[in-house]
Amino acid sequence: FLSSKKTSKIPNISPKQGLKVKTVAIIGAGTMGAGICIAFLRAGYRVILKEINEKALEIGVNRIVNVINRMLKKMKMNPMALEYLMRNLVPQITYDHFDTCQMVIEAAVENIKIKQSIFSTLEQICNKTCILATNTSTIDIKLVAAKTNAIDRLVGLHFFSPAHIMPLVEIIKTDQTSAATIATCVNVSKKIGKTPVVVDNCVGFTANRAFFPYGQAAALLLECGVDPYHIDKVLERFGMPMGAFKMADLSG
Ligand code: NAD
């Protein structure tokens, strides 16, 4: 408990340095984009959700509606709450109104060229103070920012799947990330009920970097002929909430 409380106290950075955020744009309405969107809608933010075409947008919005409906049912809440949450969602396939956002979170596919091109566009159309965040799982933040001049406000904001449930958010800074960017990300993460942890920029950041050898060990056992259900059972008996293979199946 104390450790998780301590994570938001960042040396030499005060929450007062954070910028006010009211509107957030999310790029990509896939597994992660939809989950991140739900977390922001629940906290009362206005969310612009951008996809590449109408079909992908429809699938993404349906995913959001289904998850919210399931949540409302579980919490025994009035189904009308769906309408209340969705009134703040602006689904679209263009970059219209991105100049009204104080923060953009990119959750498109894990492809360096695509991410570089998205951020180069964002730099042109967003306000000069807008925080530009990427949900990349592993890519070096400096590489994502390579085609921009916005390295001081381009930051990693790494959610975990399912993003509307998992509390951890890694905030990945480089040696050029501004204090205002870090403070804004910490403040916003707390506002949406997450536990922000500021980490340094390196392959896999902290969580996935620690996770790689764990996954590799499980895969090695599988390759040696051990039953995956048995491996998962042993991991769960050890104390993991879920085995490595079950988790891989769930996260896709
Ligand atoms: P996904 O394939 O489910 O969704 C990606 C979505 O982005 C697709 O719907 C696609 O149409 C859309 N997209 C692609 N280019 C776009 C563009 N230019 N504009 C708007 N939308 C665009 O992928 P995902 O699993 O949600 O992963 C998204 C990002 O999050 C990746 O960088 C991934 O590494 C990272 N991530 C994934 C997980 C996970 O468990 N799935 C966890 C943490 C981080």
Q: CA angle, 169 as apex, 69 and 23 as ends, to 5°?
A: 65
Best substitution site from 31, 36, 171 to test ligand 1's pocket, by max atoms within 8 Å of Cβ? 31
Most confident of 5-14, 58-67, 69-78: 58-67
Least confident interval from 21-35, 70-84, 99-113: 70-84
56 lines ligand 1 (CB under 6 A): yes
Peptide bond into 162 cis (omega under 30): yes
Ligand 1, atom 9, residue with closest C-alpha = 30
Using pLDDT thresholds of 50, 70 and 90, give the confidence band for residue 112: very high
Q: What is the pLDDT of residue 41?
A: 97
Q: What is the pLDDT of residue 82?
A: 93
Is the pLDDT at 252 greater than 90, yes or no? no
CA of 164 to the centre of ligand 1 (A): 15
Average pLDDT over residues 162-188: 97
118 lines ligand 1 (CB under 6 A): yes
Q: What is the dihedral of CA 189, 22, 122, 126, to 10 degrees?
A: -140
Using pLDDT thresholds of 50, 70 and 90, give the confidence band for residue 7: confident
Q: Measured between alpha carbons, how far is 170 from 156 in angstroms, rounded to an integer? A: 7
Is the pLDDT at 79 greater than 90, yes or no? no
194 lines ligand 1 (CB under 6 A): no
- Average per-residue pLDDT in the chain? 96
The rounded percent of the chain whose pLDDT value lies above 70 is 100
CA of 109 to the centre of ligand 1 (A): 4
139 lines ligand 1 (CB under 6 A): no
51 lines ligand 1 (CB under 6 A): yes
Nearest atom (ligand 1) to Cα of 111: 32
Is the pLDDT at 1 greater than 90, yes or no? no
Per residue in 83-101, pLDDT tens?
Answer: 999 999 999 999 999 999 9
Which residues contact residue 179 at a Cβ distance below 8 angstroms, ignoring those fewer than 6 apart?
12, 13, 17
CA of 29 to the centre of ligand 1 (A): 7
30 lines ligand 1 (CB under 6 A): yes
Average pLDDT over residues 99-109: 98
Mark whether 230 is an active-site residue: no
Q: What is the pTM of this model?
A: 0.94
Q: What is the pLDDT of residue 203?
A: 87
Q: Measured between alpha carbons, how far is 241 from 205 in angstroms, rounded to an integer? A: 22
Could you tell me if 37 and 64 are in contact, meaning their C-beta atoms sit under 8 angstroms apart? yes
CA of 117 to the centre of ligand 1 (A): 15
156 lines ligand 1 (CB under 6 A): no
CA of 31 to the centre of ligand 1 (A): 7
